[in-house]
Every structure is written in C-alpha cells, then in structure tokens.
Amino acid sequence: MMVYADTPASVMVLKKSGIKTPADLSGKKFGAPVFDAGRRAFPIFAKANGITGVQWTSMDPPLRETMLVRGDVDAITGFTFTSLLNLEARGTQAADVLVLPYPQFGVKLYGNAIIASPKLIKENPAAVKAFLQAFAKGMKEVIVRPAAAIEDVKARDGIINAPLELRRLNMAIDTAINTPNARVEGFGQTTPPRLSLMASQVSDAFATKTRVNPDAVWNGSFLPSAAELNVLSAKK
C-alpha cells in the first residue's frame, strides 16, 4: 500500500544564501547523513534540473540542520516536515528557509509504503489484507481529526510535543499523503507508468545490481475496496 503518494524529500537552503532555484545549486556544498533518502535520490533531482559539481558533507542526523544554520553547508536534503521544523527549533524562522520539494522539480518518486515479506504474503494473506483495511480506516480518521490522532500518540508517549507533532502531521498530510497525485491515483495505489518510471530512476540513482522490476515489488491485490480507500475526500 502506498502511503506517501509523493516523496517528501526536498532541498532546503537559507534564503540569505542567494539560492533561488535548483539551477543555483551547482557547485554548492550539501549536507546530509549518508543514508538520507533525499541524498540517495539526489541524482534524480540533479538530472532533472541540470545540477552539477555538488560536494557532500556527511554527518549524524541531529547535526544536519545545525550545520546549515552555522553556514558549514549551503544546502541540506531531508524530509520537509522533519528538517523545516528542526530548523525552527534551532532558531531559524520558516520564512527564512527556501524549500525546493523534489515533486515540484521533476522528481516523480513515490514515498513511503507498507511492505510485506513474501513469506507473510504466502503464509497469512488474510492478515495482510486485514492490516491494510485497518490502516485505511485509521488514515481516514487521522485526516478528519489530526489533533485527536496526536493526542492518541501522546497517550502512549507522554514526552512528545503535541503542538509540534500536530504541525508535522498536517505538513505530512498536505505534502505527501493528500496530494494532487494521490487524488488522481487514489489513496494507497500506484499507476503502472509512474511506477515503471520510478523503478528506472531508482535503478540509476542507487546503482542496483539488476534493474528494478516494478511487477516484482508491487502487488495491489491485497488493497481494500475502492470505498474503503476513499479516505482523502474527508480532508476539508
């Protein structure tokens, strides 16, 4: 089941840097952990926008936004709803940050998805189907009442900052879940042309040993009914 219809990855820079477009990123110093999804997919973003000559600095995740604020790097990659809020926590106003979302600049990647092992699918397909039904129902409730969803999380993890996490959730819904692509394709689903493009781009960016076969990684037969997947219209 596709949860993020669009990757939430983006490039973020401080506006005072003078960087205004992806073309301005050529030759700049980037920072991100080596395993960051935005960094791993950056070759796709770079190819789509003609960006060349960037230099990467690696760091642990907690240092990424700090190094941007200090000026140690010119740009960072990361999930928008994570890094933007982390920058605010380090004293930088959101209005002072330029966000270049991958989906708005030629990157058609899907984002996070629910996956199951071949073993589970073979041995307990009913559990897979039931889980996806429950997840779709939960997603609909989250979209209708995000504040209540965060209160449920806080009941289990009392140390979270509820107002901050509500902002993060709403940003995730708006930028990755309830997107124009999701409303066209349907929540939880994929389309063959876009999935094939993503498979090709991921094969190139990650230098996979063999080309990714979209038919080998996507199985929509366990998805709930169209009525159960009708979760996005709930958002006002």
CA distance 113 to 93: 31
Over residues 51-68, the pLDDT tens digits come to 999 999 999 999 999 999
* Residue 143, domain member (yes or no): yes
Q: How many domains does the chain have?
A: 1
Confidence of residue 3 (pLDDT cuts 50, 70, 90): very high
Which pLDDT does position 81 carry in this prediction? 93
CB atoms within 10 A of CB 166: 18
d(CA 4, CA 90): 27
Q: Is residue 168 part of a domain?
A: yes
Q: Which amino acid is at 131?
A: F
Average pLDDT, the chain: 94
The percent of residues in the chain predicted with pLDDT above 90, rounded, is 96
Any idea which of 2-11, 24-33, 201-210 has the lowest mean pLDDT?
Answer: 201-210
Instruction: Inform me whether the pLDDT recorded for 234 exceeds 60.
Output: no
User: Residue 108: inside a domain, yes or no?
Assistant: no
Residue 161 lies in a domain: yes
Please indicate, yes or no, if residue 141 is contained in any of the structural domains: yes
Quick check: is 84 in a domain?
A: no
* pLDDT confidence band for 235 (50 / 70 / 90): low
Q: How high is the pLDDT of residue 104?
A: 94
Stretch 191-211: mean pLDDT: 92
The pair of three-digit structure tokens given for residue 122, joined into one six-digit string: 């073979």
**CA torsion angle for 216, 172, 41, 85 (degrees, to 10)?**
-150
From the list 50, 166, 169, 171, the residue with the least C-alpha distance to 101 is: 171
- Could you tell me the residue range of the domain that residue 181 belongs to? 118-189+220-234
Q: Is residue 191 pLDDT above 60, yes or no?
A: yes
Higher-confidence position of 167 and 233: 167
pTM (predicted TM-score): 0.90
In a domain, 29, yes or no: no
> For 94-145, what is each residue's pLDDT tens digit?
999 999 999 999 999 999 999 999 999 999 999 999 999 999 999 999 999 9
Q: Give a yes or no: residue 225 inside a domain.
A: yes
Q: 3-state DSSP call for residue 74?
A: coil
72 CB contacts (<8 Å, ≥6 apart)? 29, 31, 57
Do residues 173 and 39 make contact, with C-beta atoms less than 8 angstroms apart?
no
DSSP secondary structure string, 79-110? EHHHHHHHHHHTT--GGGEEEEEGGGGT----
Tallying the residues shown for the chain, one arrives at 236
Residue 167 has pLDDT above 80, yes or no: yes
What distance in Å separates the CA atoms of residue 2 and residue 195, rounded to the nearest whole number?
11
pLDDT confidence of residue 233 = 72
